A and B are shown apart, each in its own frame.
Chain A
Amino acid sequence: MLAILHLKIILDVDGNSILDLGAGIAVLNVGHSSPKVIENVKTQIDAFTHTCFMVVPYTGYVEVCEALNRLTPGKFKKKSVLMNSGAEALENAVKIARSYTKRQAVVVFEHGYHGRTNLTMAMTAKNMPYKNGFGPFAPEVYRMPMAYPFRWNGDQAKCAQEALEIITHKIEKEIGAKNVAAIVIEPIQGEGGFIVPPKGFLPGIANYAKENGIVFIADEVQTGFGRTGNWFASEDENVEPDIITTAKGIAAGLPLSGVTGRAEIMDSIHLSGLGGTYGGNPIACAAALGAIETIEKDNLVERANKIGKIMTDALNQMAKKYSIIGEVRGRGAMQAIELIKPGSDEPNSDAQLAIIKYCISKGVLILSAGTYANVIRLLPPLNIDEELLKDGLSVLDEAIASVKS
């Protein structure tokens, strides 16, 4: 249990200072106890804590929607709604796409993670721990192969093209494109193991959706708010999703999520069709405005690339030394290593456990990921001090060295 949180360090109840390279799973992009977040939250608590936006509206909600409409990719008029969690944002994105298209099928991907509610469990790929024993799951969810170059069975150099061919074939033959309401994808898969699709894959999916009247939904819950060195990861290949879901980094830990999309899609839902008691709570909105202001004023989007380079340089050095590192991948301040048994591509989950355990013993918090439980992911606060980050990376290096291969 934590006693006090300050910036990039977690102080525990025994007085230990722990270096946080997980940022509460990419939530604290502005770091723990970010001053503007705290100031806004305190001011808001003194004014009012709740009305339900659909009962009596307040300015903070509108301002967060304006910020989302401005910052998300897409040179078209956008509108937003706010919810409480990433899963709830995904639920609503699917509701909106189904109502707008009058279609039912939802296409998702291997290794995808979208949440723990019934529909989003159905959309999530991995059984343990997310789904096991929790079924039955929502129908009309169809899973497609993911363009995952490191584990692609075909020609790795043609992974994007081959994956697109399989996916479009499966959609046409197994679902029928005219039955598909939405294609939902994380531009870089998070829990799945920071899987970065090869160039051309996301634009290919987005174009296919456009040609077939399918709503293209980018789940940017983990990749958003500067994490990948752009405000949103879709920007990397100039993809303009019809709908973007956001959460995590949006409000520095206060529960908030957003659904932002083309105005004609977002406005197509019947009056009072969307909403909820707490969604876009005023305190969470105040935190979001503080977090967004901090990311903008402190140039944290740019900084994600700077600390990303420090991480990739260090991780690539480690990959040269240690044969259990199969791949270093990620973008910006979202970096990972995939661990293998040397001389094969067999997942090495024992190494993952040992590395995390070593890091815990040295006071460095790093997170696991991956369908095969063999990925170490780094998600430091975007404003982490360089020396502190390098200290954490040196502990990771020692941790990998300590693993018997």
Chain B
Amino acid sequence: MYSEAKNPIAQKRNLITAIPGPKSEQLIKRRAEAVSASLGTAFPVFIERAEGSIILDVDGNSILDLGAGIAVLNVGHSSPKNNS
């Protein structure tokens, strides 16, 4: 389940499938079976990894994140000091 990375994620928006893509669609169905329906979803894809302001989803789409996890990631995704 965890990506082996680590090619840097290009800091640009790039969609290669419709949103959500087929892999996210599968995971959305799987989620509905296990997680309370009360929980909302702002952006309906499943994340693979993220860097800076770009979220890479499980279908390979690069999504521009203007929410920063609700003002949590002020230093961006995967800020180097996180994992040093």
Shortest distance from the beta carbon of B7 to any chain A beta carbon, whole Å: 12
Min Cβ gap B66→A in Å is 11
Q: Indicate with 1 or 0, residue by residue over B28-52, a CB within 8 angstroms of chain A CB atoms.
A: 1011011111111111011111100
Q: How many residues of B contact A (CB 8 A)?
A: 39
A43 to B73 alpha-carbon distance, docked (Å): 19
In the bound assembly, the distance between CA atoms of A270 and B36 in angstroms comes to 10
Stretch at the interface among A50-58, A168-176, A211-219, A350-358: A50-58
- Whether A272 and B39, one on each chain, are in contact in the complex, defined by CB atoms closer than 8 angstroms, is yes
CB-CB under 8 A from B47, the residues of chain A are: 48, 51, 56-58
B interface SS class: loop
Indicate with 1 or 0, residue by residue over A258-280, a CB within 8 angstroms of chain B CB atoms. 00000000110111111101100
A69 to B39, CA, bound (A): 16
Is B83 an interface position by the 8 A CB rule? yes
B18 at the interface (CB under 8 A from A): no
- The answer to whether B38 and A81 have CB atoms under 8 Å apart is yes
B-contact bits for A71-96, CB 8 A (1 contact / 0 none): 00000000111000000000000000
Minimum CB distance partner of A277 in chain B: B70
Task: From B3, B39, B72, give the contact of A277 (CB < 8 A).
Answer: B72
A46-B5, A50-B69 given; A62·B30 CB < 8 A: yes
**Assembled-state Cα–Cα distance A266/B38 (Å):** 8
Asked if B78 lies at the interface with its beta carbon under 8 angstroms from chain A, I say yes
Q: Is A58 touching B38 in the complex (CB atoms < 8 A)?
A: no
Residues of the A chain whose Cβ atoms lie less than 8 Å from the Cβ of B73: 49-50
**Interface hits, A10-32 → B, CB 8 Å:** none
Interface core residue of B33, B36, B55 (most chain A CB under 10 Å): B36
Measured CA separation A81–B58 after assembly (Å)? 22
The answer on a CB contact under 8 Å between A51 and B41 is: no
Instruction: Indicate if A34 sits at the interface (CB-CB under 8 A).
Output: no
Residues of chain A with a CB closer than 8 A to B37's CB: 79, 266-267, 269, 271
A286 to chain B, nearest CB (A): 7
Query: Which residues of chain A come closer than 8 Å to B3, judged between CB atoms?
Result: 46-47
**Cβ of A89 to closest chain B Cβ, rounded Å:** 13
Please tell me if the beta carbons of A62 and B34 are within 8 angstroms of each other in the complex. yes
Which residues of chain A from 249 to 306 have a CB within 8 Å of any chain B CB? 266-267, 269-275, 277-278, 286
Does A80 lie within 8 Å of B35, measured CB to CB? yes
Find the B residue at minimum CB distance from A266. B36
Whether a CB of chain A sits under 8 angstroms from the CB of B82 is yes
Judge whether A44 is part of the interface by a CB distance below 8 angstroms: yes
A45 to B84, CA, bound (A): 10
A271 CA / B38 CA spacing, docked (Å): 4
Docked Cα-Cα span, A278 to B55, in Å, equals: 18
Q: Separation in Å of the A257 CB from the closest CB of chain B?
A: 14
Distance in Å from the Cβ of A290 to the closest Cβ of chain B? 11
Contacts A55-B43, A56-B43; is A47 near B38 (CB within 8 Å)? no
| Candidates B30, B36, B58; contact of A269 at CB < 8 Å | B36
Q: Does A148 contact B (CB under 8 A)?
A: no
Are B36's CB and A46's CB within 8 A?
A: no
| Known contacts A45-B83, A52-B69; is-contact A267 B38 (Cβ 8 Å) | yes
Q: In the assembled complex, which residues on chain A have CB atoms less than 8 Å from the CB atom of B55?
A: 48, 51, 56
B35 touching A81 by the CB < 8 A rule?
A: yes
Q: In the assembly, what is the distance between CA of A397 and CA of B7, in Å?
A: 57
Within 8 Å CB of A44, what residues of B? 2
Q: What chain A residues lie within 8 Å of B70 (beta carbons)?
A: 52, 55, 277
